[in-house]
Amino acid sequence: MRSDYTEIFRDEGAAEQYESDNYRPGSFYSQVSARQRDWLRAFTETAFDVPPVHHDFACGTGRVLRMLEGLVREAHGYDTSGVMLARAHELDTPAELHVIEADGPVASTVDDEWPALVTCFRLLLNAPRDLRERALRFAAGILRGPDSGLLILENHGNASSLRHLRRPRAGSDRRFAELGHDEVAALLHRYGFELLTMQGFTMLTQGFYRPPIGWIAPALDSAVSRRGFLASRATNVLYVARRLLRNGRDPARVPAVVVIAAVAPGPAIAAPAARRAGRSGRTAAAARAPCGAAIPGPSAASRPARGASCPPRRRSTRRSP
């Protein structure tokens, strides 16, 4: 865990290296990212009855925003690094990009008429506790109840994975960090979130993707990591959660979001016509299904009832409590 985490990515060299080195074609991280993209797109189409508004906290160069291009109504990326956001713009990231302060409330768009998808990738592992807490306060300010949408968090250093075996060699090296499922669950619980499911994307570490077994490791890893029952042992894990209210009161009392009027969506962000058409024709069963109902995974059998729609709600223009 690094206290200077937000400062690292304000350097132009770091921003360039992050995208061109870590995510160069064929690299370990690019292959894990491709698996995440495939799963995330399938999950989003299944979990939401209408295209959600996507909010990506600590969006960096916009990698996750680009994953969902064409599947969301609007997209917004938030980061403290103008350098990283400039790189995201160069990569034609289809979203509104917002530079935010290193602390304090985050300006955000909340549209109560549409469900929201809040994502936070590659932050929790190395970020200090106050930044982790800020990310969850941000999510809680947008997701105000079970029917408001979903939160997806990434842990790319699972303490219960094969990666943990490196810890004795790393010793007190500040560059090594790991995060346990119990820590993530506790963080979610503090802000009133219920963990729905986990999905793994690699069982190995990047060392296995090098010679002499690098030729077979990616395909084997991809096949094995798809097994849901192995998610708890995966090196890279996504957690899907939804917001609950305990005893009718919002547990996240610290302001983290300044709500602003909705802004125009970025290029190529639009709700597909076929999905918009699905909002008509309510049935008795569909009327009981909550808007943007959360499901445990992208299984066709678990789809929320098509035709479910939400009663019109006014767009909020107030500060969160």
Give the CATH number for residue 101: 3.40.50.150
In a domain, residue 148? The reply is yes
Residue 162: pLDDT band (50, 70, 90) is confident
Nearest-angstrom CA–CA distance, 259 and 106: 8
In a domain, residue 313? The reply is no
Number of domains in the chain: 1
Residue holding tokens 């798809």?
Answer: 226
pLDDT digits (tens, 9 = 90+) for 185-215: 999 999 999 999 999 999 998 889 988 988 8
Tell me what pLDDT residue 29 has.
93
Identify which has the larger pLDDT, 172 or 74. 74
In a domain, residue 318? The reply is no
CB neighbour list of residue 222: distance below 8 Å, 6 or more residues apart: 31, 35
Q: Which domain holds residue 196?
A: 5-302
In a domain, residue 310? The reply is no
In a domain, residue 41? The reply is yes
- Compute the residue count for the chain: 321
Specify whether the CB–CB gap between 19 and 87 falls below 8 A: yes
Closest CA to 201 of 234, 177, 168, 229: 234
In a domain, residue 67? The reply is yes
Closest CA to 148 of 197, 185, 111: 111
In a domain, residue 308? The reply is no
In a domain, residue 226? The reply is yes
Nearest-angstrom CA–CA distance, 190 and 241: 13
User: Roughly how many angstroms between the first and final C-alpha of the chain, as a whole number?
Assistant: 29
Kindly tell me if the per-residue pLDDT of 263 is higher than 90.
no
